[in-house]
Amino acid sequence: MTKKNANNNVLTVFTMPNCPNCPKVKEKCEEISKELGLEFKIVNIKEDPLEGLMYQVMETPSIALNDETLFFAENPSRAEIKKAIKMNLK
C-alpha cells in the first residue's frame, strides 16, 4: 500500500501479523504522512523480509523515512515521529 507525493519523501512503517503496537503506529504514521505531504508505505516483513533487511529491520513496528530508519521496534508518540521526520526530510 503506497500513496504518492510530489516531493518523493517516503514514510515507511514495517509491520508483522500479530504485532500488538503495529496498528497504532500505522495509524499515527498515515495521519502524519497526510499532514506533511509524504508518500506512505506499509511493509509486512513477514511477506517481504528482504525489504526489512534493506533497512536492518527485524522487529516491529519500525519506521523509516526514505532510506533512514528512524525507530526500531518502538511505539513513539506523534510528536516524536514528527520531530524525527522533520530532522530527516530531503
DSSP state of 67: T
pLDDT band at 28 (very low <50, low <70, confident <90, very high): very high
Interior angle at CA 82, CA 11 and CA 5, nearest 5? 35
State the CATH number of the domain containing residue 28: 3.40.30.10
Domain count, the chain: 1
Answer whether 40's CB lies under 8 Å from 3's CB.
yes
State pLDDT tens for residues 36-87: 999 999 999 999 999 999 999 999 999 999 999 999 999 999 999 999 999 9
**Sheet of 2-3, strands arranged across:** 2-3, 39-44, 10-15, 62-65, 68-71
Domain that holds residue 46: 2-88
